[in-house]
Amino acid sequence: MSRKMKNISFITGIVLLFFVLWGAGSFASPPEGFSGFGQSTDISPDDSELVFSYYHGDDAALYTVPVSGGKAELLAKPDEGKSFLNPAFSPDGGKIAFVEQWEEEGEEKKQRYSQLRIVDREDQTTETLMNTNDYITKAVFSPDGGSLFFLKAGVFKNYSPISSERPHDFDIFRMDLKTKDIEQLTSKEAYSMSSLNVSADGDQLMYKTYGNRDQLVLHSLEDGKEETIVPAGDFGSKAPIISSPTLSPDGEHVVFSDVAAKDEQGTYVYEGFRMDLDTGKAEQITSFYEHVASPVFFHNEDKLIVTVDKNFAGAEPDNSYWQITADGKERKRVMIEMPES
Amino acid sequence: MTNMERHVEKILEQMQSPHDEREEIREEVLNHLEEAKQHYISGGFNEKQAEKRVLSEFGSAETIGNQLQESMYPYQRGLLYVIGIGTILFGVIFYLTSAFFLHNPIPVWLAIQLVTGGTVTLAAINISFVGRYFYLVNVLLLVNVLWNGINIAIMEVRPRWQAIFFGIYLLVLVGLGLVAVIRNAYYSSSPAASKQRHRGMVLLSHIVNLLFGLVVAGVSLFFLWALLAFSEAKADVILTVVPIIIWVITYKFQMRYIPKKPLISIATGLGFSVLSIVLPFMILRLL
């Protein structure tokens, strides 16, 4: 074959190859989005039910299931493109507060929204408490059920070009559920604030924030005084990287997840830790060798439910829920049968 | 053109020798054939018979050409074929897995992959024409190395077994690309032009010079990545690849300078590399 022929055949071949592959690729089904369990859960006050988010094609709906496992029931389903996240039971178990998150194409870039909603289990209605003017990330009921404490971000942006866009300028607010009046409890405009908890006696709040390092803050509801705690323990990272801290019902312990070790790929392995609030000392209580997150206490038993992500470093999580004893010695997976959607 | 001249042209078609070297080879081979022809004529053959005999004894032009190319520029053409076709093959496999496993095929990516693999393969096919322009071949190869380097960076988000397989595949391709660039730069100066004891120094200088280039590319691509990933990218994006462009342009000078002054050219290479990074920063400051 002459060189000219070789060139012509080669170029034609490459062009044909491109169109064949392009055509073949367009037959492939479009991305279906993530389907699976969400991270954050809550347990009903009588310890009988677990509420959680389940994603169908990137949209998370809320479901309930008996804490020991079984058939899940749909609680509330969002409109397409939206997700219901971070559920929290009311003290009587009749209502569940949660946030609704979604994205919309804005003028220049995508706009993120996160609004506060509440679902009444009796009459099956869903109400919006705070609309899209505010970016709410987490809400919890006061122990008397009369009000909601929530975290609100002032902005959603990236301060540094090498960080991704996140909510910032956080403060804590309280909403009276009868009058819907809102009271601002802090004026910190904090860079980060998360995992809001209320103590069982309703005297203080606990949240996680960042100031040189991750730390826990106890906020007195009486006088607004704050106490900062940095857990001491045998963590796999230099400073503790606290995730989803939760107050125990007796108010003596905090369970959170933190780096316990690194795996072969250098990915941090998060396990559950339990800290004594008096001493600040934390000890590891789980050994899943996976990513452990979002511990939630039972109200009347010395047990917790944690979320375990078996694909933490991957593109999509692979969450499952596990019951563990408070000392971490026993564990059992909560097997969930999802209804047909 | 006589049959013998045509035969020699066909031989030269398989070779990447630059102009002067081609003239020498052309003259040498023609002389050799002419002598053999005279030998047969004096042995009683007529001119046509003698020519036929000589050419059939000399062997097919393609084989001789390939042999000469391999003896003067060993493995260079083969390397180009392997890199070019390897790049195309990667495009096919990766695109299909993206489409059918991850449901996210990107046709623009495929087009770039096929173009960079295709140009390197075309350089191998047209070695007699393209191979003479050593700088051009190196630019084609460097673009290929750069692109496959970017591909390695995006493997991180793949499922684990895919990331490992594709990662190794790409590392081999990038490695071969760099070897081809260094060898090509080394062969660009004819061995006779510099003293034999200099040759080791020249090779070392080429390698060091290319390492500078890799650092420049790394810095450039890091800023490009940071800009694309974390901010609303605009005109600044173009500025982040300016160091690569400056380095590639000065590389043409370096390729000619290294065989003459291998030691000093390490210093000029470093100078150009620093300049290529500093200059865009200064422009950014002034703007």
CATH number for the domain harbouring residue A319: 2.120.10.30
Please judge whether B99 and A24 are an interchain contact, meaning their C-beta atoms are less than 8 angstroms apart. Answer: yes
Q: How many residues does chain B have?
A: 287
Residues of A in contact with B13 (CB under 8 A): 3
Quick one: average pLDDT of B53-78?
91
Is the model's pLDDT at A81 over the cut of 70?
yes
pTM score: 0.63
Decide if A23 is inside a domain. no
Is the model's pLDDT at A6 over the cut of 90?
yes
Is the model's pLDDT at B191 over the cut of 60?
no
Is the model's pLDDT at B29 over the cut of 70?
yes
Please judge whether B157 and A22 are an interchain contact, meaning their C-beta atoms are less than 8 angstroms apart. Answer: no
B18, B112: one domain: no
Please tell me the predicted confidence (pLDDT) of residue A162.
60
Of B99, B121, B230, the CB nearest to A25: B99
Decide if A1 is inside a domain. no
Considering only residues B223 and B195, tell me which one the structure prediction assigns the higher pLDDT. Answer: B223
Please tell me the predicted confidence (pLDDT) of residue B282.
84
Give the H or E element holding residue B147. helix B134-154
Residues of B in contact with A161 (CB under 8 A): 226-227, 230-231
Is the model's pLDDT at B192 over the cut of 70?
no
Phi, psi torsion values for A210, nearest 5 degrees = -130, 130
DSSP B23-52: HHHHHHHHHHHHHHHHHHHHTT--HHHHHH
User: Distance from B29 to chain A by nearest Cα, in Å?
Assistant: 22
Residues of B in contact with A3 (CB under 8 A): 13, 125-126
Considering only residues B127 and A166, tell me which one the structure prediction assigns the higher pLDDT. Answer: B127
Decide if A283 is inside a domain. yes
Give the B window 149-168 contacts with A, CB below 8 Å: 157, 159-160
Is the model's pLDDT at A161 over the cut of 70?
no
B175, B212: one domain: no
User: Which range among A3-7, A142-146, A314-318 shows the weakest confidence by mean pLDDT?
Assistant: A314-318
Please judge whether B99 and A164 are an interchain contact, meaning their C-beta atoms are less than 8 angstroms apart. Answer: no
Decide if A257 contacts A244 (C-beta within 8 A).
Answer: yes
Please tell me the predicted confidence (pLDDT) of residue B233.
53
B79, B182: one domain: yes
User: Which range among A68-72, A292-296, B97-101, B146-150 shows the weakest confidence by mean pLDDT?
Assistant: B97-101
Q: Which domain holds residue B198?
A: 192-287
Confidence of residue B256 (pLDDT cuts 50, 70, 90): confident
Is the model's pLDDT at A17 over the cut of 90?
yes
Is the model's pLDDT at B99 over the cut of 90?
no
User: Which range among A86-95, A219-228, A311-320, B1-10 shows the weakest confidence by mean pLDDT?
Assistant: A311-320
Decide if B136 contacts B181 (C-beta within 8 A).
Answer: no
Q: Which of B170, B188, B206 is the last residue of a domain?
A: B188
B218, B154: one domain: no
- In this prediction the ipTM stands at 0.89
Q: How far apart are CA B25 and CA B17, in angstroms?
A: 9
B267, B279: one domain: yes
Is the model's pLDDT at B87 over the cut of 90?
yes
Q: Which candidate, A102, A109, A94, A1, places its Cα nearest to that of A44?
A: A94
Chain B: residue nearest A11 by CA? B118
Decide if A162 is inside a domain. yes
Confidence of residue B238 (pLDDT cuts 50, 70, 90): confident
Please tell me the predicted confidence (pLDDT) of residue A32.
72
Confidence of residue B190 (pLDDT cuts 50, 70, 90): low
Is the model's pLDDT at B178 over the cut of 90?
yes
B245, B181: one domain: no
Q: Which of B129, B159, B188 is the last residue of a domain?
A: B188
Residues of A in contact with B118 (CB under 8 A): 10-11, 14
Q: Which domain holds residue A312?
A: 33-337
B199, B280: one domain: yes
Q: Which of B68, B83, B107 is the last residue of a domain?
A: B68
Please tell me the predicted confidence (pLDDT) of residue B196.
63
Quick one: average pLDDT of A231-247?
86
Exposed, middle or buried: residue A64 (CB in 10 Å: 0-12, 13-18, 19+)? buried
Please tell me the predicted confidence (pLDDT) of residue A163.
65
Confidence of residue B173 (pLDDT cuts 50, 70, 90): very high
B138, B79: one domain: yes
Quick one: average pLDDT of A122-145?
85
Q: How far apart are CA A90 and CA A114, in angstroms?
A: 20
B184, B156: one domain: yes
Q: Does B93 reach chain A within 8 Å, measured CB to CB?
A: no
Q: Which candidate, A215, A226, A235, places its Cα nearest to that of A282?
A: A235
Is the model's pLDDT at B122 over the cut of 80?
yes
Q: What percent of chain A has pLDDT over 90?
A: 53
Is the model's pLDDT at B194 over the cut of 60?
no
Is the model's pLDDT at B251 over the cut of 70?
yes
For helices B47-58 and B19-42, give the axis angle rounded to 10 degrees.
130
**Count of domains for chain B:** 3
Considering only residues A311 and B165, tell me which one the structure prediction assigns the higher pLDDT. Answer: B165
Q: Indicate which of A34, A162, A163 best probes the interface with B, i.e. most B CBs within 10 Å of its own CB.
A: A162
Decide if B36 contacts B54 (C-beta within 8 A).
Answer: yes
User: Which range among A127-136, A253-262, B134-143 shows the weakest confidence by mean pLDDT?
Assistant: A127-136
Q: How far apart are CA B66 and CA B76, in angstroms?
A: 11
Sheet containing A213-220: order of strands: A193-198, A204-211, A213-220, A226-229
In the predicted model, what is the mean pLDDT of chain A?
88
User: Distance from A146 to chain B by nearest Cα, in Å?
Assistant: 42
Is the model's pLDDT at B90 over the cut of 90?
yes
Q: Tokens representing A236?
A: 């796999």
Q: How far apart are CA A231 and CA A253, in angstroms?
A: 11
Is the model's pLDDT at A137 over the cut of 60?
yes
Confidence of residue B195 (pLDDT cuts 50, 70, 90): low
User: Which range among A93-102, A154-163, B102-111 shows the weakest confidence by mean pLDDT?
Assistant: A154-163
B148, B241: one domain: no
State the residue for tokens 């705690």.
A229
Decide if A214 is inside a domain. yes
Maximum average pLDDT range among B17-21, B26-30, B130-134: B26-30
**Count of domains for chain A:** 1
Q: Does B126 reach chain A within 8 Å, measured CB to CB?
A: yes
Is the model's pLDDT at B193 over the cut of 60?
no
Q: Tokens representing A314?
A: 């991957």
Decide if A114 contacts A82 (C-beta within 8 A).
Answer: no
B139, B212: one domain: no
